């Protein structure tokens, strides 16, 4: 069957599918040889920007802004750079988005970004990823720089559904960035997105609606995303307003301290206050000039059987070879092994033990004073298991009672004796 007819058949199948599309099998020609779990490595690609707030500790001549606000702006700059890495780096040039392999429960991916700075000021940054749930699919991730005592952690799940011309994706989970030496934390929600270009067989990701950044210092940012329309407009566009706190944003959106706008995959400019900046205004971030670090992954021969690239090696090789039958055979073998494991656990009343992430129940009173929860309360965001970025007053909370969040356990990772970066 040709790629065109396979793609048409696939579109018909998702158009008539009523369940969650994130686990649906795609035609082989649109498969990526990489596991979806690996995609969370992109949080750490721009290491220099990630660590930059650690060096904003003193007043700067001719800059009267509070140090905490300068750090907030630095965090926003890093976050925008991660959007390009996470959602657009695989579609540069003539490339289109490929469907990644669905991670299996217990799959892990570990690697490190080496310090490539001339003076070795960055230090190594570890990337620690684990698939903590398969139904529904949820990945836990941590990016840890020991030298600068900086930790990003979070979890992410997706639910997909078919729209008229695009595949719509709601993200669940969030990220928390902790600068331990600064005693500052930042909460990030994950924006909804949709996959454009399905009808032409050239899928690309476009972000939509809003996401939020809440700092423990009180500063609050609202990011709004839009994309290229059918007849006009630019892709990957956004605007971001920064406020002293969430109350200021709600009471008067024109009380913004800064407004940033442009393309999160390209150039953005800024202005002080709430006025939209000119595209010819001062540059906030030029993605093309952002330094990226090289991800170092152990050779497959040195990897544990649960590590992504070893576990999926035969499938990935078959995808690169374009051997559709071999892809199907190798994927089926892994999927059957996983079904047998789940059956064994059910028969023996046991559960797969997560390696480095803990499932924390935040309905317990003992957890209500957690600094992590404080950030949600400051931003008036729901802590329930609803789509990322839902406000605590939304009706989407009405029929949801669970508040389970996956948290990285550094003690478990340090004690690990089988798998290392």
β-pair type (295-296, 283-286): unpaired
> Does 74 have pLDDT greater than 60?
yes
- Residue 341 contacts by C-beta under 8 Å, 6 or more apart in sequence? 105, 352
Span 205-222, average pLDDT? 96
Fold of 3-296: Porin (2.40.160)
Say if CB 405 and CB 413 are below 8 A apart.
no
Span 365-392, average pLDDT? 94
Cα 112 to Cα 421: distance, rounded to the nearest angstrom: 6
Say if CB 403 and CB 384 are below 8 A apart.
yes
Cα 295 to Cα 332: distance, rounded to the nearest angstrom: 30
34-56 pLDDT, tens digit per residue, is: 999 999 999 999 999 999 999 99
Here the tokens at position 273 are 């206050």
Among 205, 20, 39, CA closest to 111: 39
> Does 146 have pLDDT greater than 90?
yes
> Does 76 have pLDDT greater than 80?
yes
- Residue 376 contacts by C-beta under 8 Å, 6 or more apart in sequence? 187, 214, 382, 383, 392
Cα 220 to Cα 213: distance, rounded to the nearest angstrom: 6
Here the tokens at position 225 are 């995303």
Here the tokens at position 333 are 């073998």
In this predicted model, which residue has the larger pLDDT, 60 or 396? Answer: 396
Span 208-224, average pLDDT? 97
Here the tokens at position 379 are 């931003």
User: What is the domain partition of the chain in residue ranges?
Assistant: 3-296, 312-347
HEC assignment per residue over the chain: CCHHHHHHHHHHHHHCCCCCHHHCCCCHHHEEEEEHHHHHHHHHCCHHHHHHHHHCCCCECCECCCHHHHHHHHHHHHHHHHHHHHHHHHHCCCCCCCEEECCCCCCEEEEEECCCCCCCCCCCEEEEEEEEEECCEEEEEEEEECCCCEEEEEEEEEEEEECCCCEEEEEEEEEEEEECCCCEEEEEECCCEEEECCCCCCCEEEECEEEEEEECCCCEEEEEEECCCCCCCCCCEEEEEEECCHHHHHHCHHHCCEEEEEECCCEEEEEECCCCCCCCCCEEEEHHHCCCCCEECCCHHHCCCCEHHHHCHHHHHHHHHCCHHHHHHHHHHHHHHHHHHHHHHHHCCCCCCCCCEEEEECCCHHHCCCHHHHHHHHHCECCCCCCCCCECCCHHHCCCCCCEEEEECHHHHHHCCCCCC
Give bridge partners of residue 140 from the DSSP assignment.
Answer: 130, 155
Mean pLDDT of the chain: 89
> Does 371 have pLDDT greater than 60?
yes
> Does 15 have pLDDT greater than 60?
no
How far is Cα of residue 363 from the mean position of the Cα atoms in its chain?
Answer: 25
Cα 91 to Cα 89: distance, rounded to the nearest angstrom: 6
Say if CB 139 and CB 132 are below 8 A apart.
yes
Cα 223 to Cα 389: distance, rounded to the nearest angstrom: 11
pLDDT band at 3 (very low <50, low <70, confident <90, very high): low
> Does 248 have pLDDT greater than 80?
yes
pLDDT of residue 348: 93
> Does 92 have pLDDT greater than 70?
no
Say if CB 212 and CB 381 are below 8 A apart.
yes
> Does 10 have pLDDT greater than 70?
no
The torsion angles phi and psi of 132, rounded to 5 degrees, stand at -95, -10
> Does 96 have pLDDT greater than 90?
no
Span 337-366, average pLDDT? 93
pTM to 2 decimal places? 0.91
Q: How would you class 274 by CB atoms within 10 Å of its CB: exposed for 0-12, middle for 13-18, buried for 19 or more? A: middle
Say if CB 141 and CB 154 are below 8 A apart.
yes
């Amino acid at each position: 069957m040709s790629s065109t007819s396979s793609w048409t058949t696939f579109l018909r199948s998702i158009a008539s599918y009523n369940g969650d599309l994130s686990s649906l099998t795609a035609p082989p020609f649109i498969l990526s040889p990489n596991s979806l779990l690996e995609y969370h490595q992109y949080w750490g690609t721009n290491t220099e920007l990630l660590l930059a707030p650690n060096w904003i500790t003193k007043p700067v001549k001719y800059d009267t802004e509070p140090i905490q606000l300068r750090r907030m702006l630095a965090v926003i700059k890093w976050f925008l750079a991660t959007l390009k890495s996470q959602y657009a780096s695989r579609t540069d040039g003539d490339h289109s988005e490929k469907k990644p392999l669905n991670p299996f429960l217990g799959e892990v991916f570990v690697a490190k970004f080496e310090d490539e700075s001339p003076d070795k000021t960055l230090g190594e940054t570890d990337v620690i990823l684990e698939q903590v749930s398969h139904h529904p699919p949820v990945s836990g991730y941590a990016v840890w720089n020991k030298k600068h005592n900086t930790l990003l952690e979070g979890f992410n799940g997706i639910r997909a559904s078919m729209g008229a011309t695009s595949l719509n994706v709601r993200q669940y989970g969030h990220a928390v960035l902790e600068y331990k030496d600064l005693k500052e934390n930042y909460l990030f929600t994950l924006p909804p997105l949709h996959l454009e270009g399905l009808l032409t067989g050239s899928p690309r990701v476009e972000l939509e609606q809003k996401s939020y950044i809440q700092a423990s210092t009180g500063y609050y940012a609202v990011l709004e995303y839009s994309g290229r329309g059918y007849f006009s407009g630019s892709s990957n566009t956004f605007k971001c307003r920064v406020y002293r706190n969430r109350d200021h944003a709600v009471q008067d959106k024109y009380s913004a301290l800064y407004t940033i706008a442009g393309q999160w995959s390209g150039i953005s400019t800024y202005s002080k206050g709430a006025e939209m900046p000119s595209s010819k205004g001062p540059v906030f971030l030029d993605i093309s000039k952002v330094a990226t670090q090289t991800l170092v992954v152990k050779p497959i021969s040195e990897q544990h059987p649960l590590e992504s690239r070893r576990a999926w090696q035969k499938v990935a090789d078959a995808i690169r070879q374009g051997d559709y039958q071999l892809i199907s055979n190798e994927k089926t073998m892994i999927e059957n092994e996983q079904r047998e494991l789940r059956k064994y656990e059910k028969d023996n009343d046991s559960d797969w033990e997560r390696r480095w992430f803990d499932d924390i129940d935040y309905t317990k009173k003992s957890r209500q004073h957690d600094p992590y929860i404080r950030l949600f309360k400051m931003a008036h965001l729901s802590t329930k298991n609803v789509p990322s970025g839902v406000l605590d007053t939304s009706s989407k909370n009405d029929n949801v009672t669970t508040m389970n969040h996956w948290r990285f356990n550094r003690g478990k990772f340090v004690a690990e004796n089988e798998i290392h970066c």
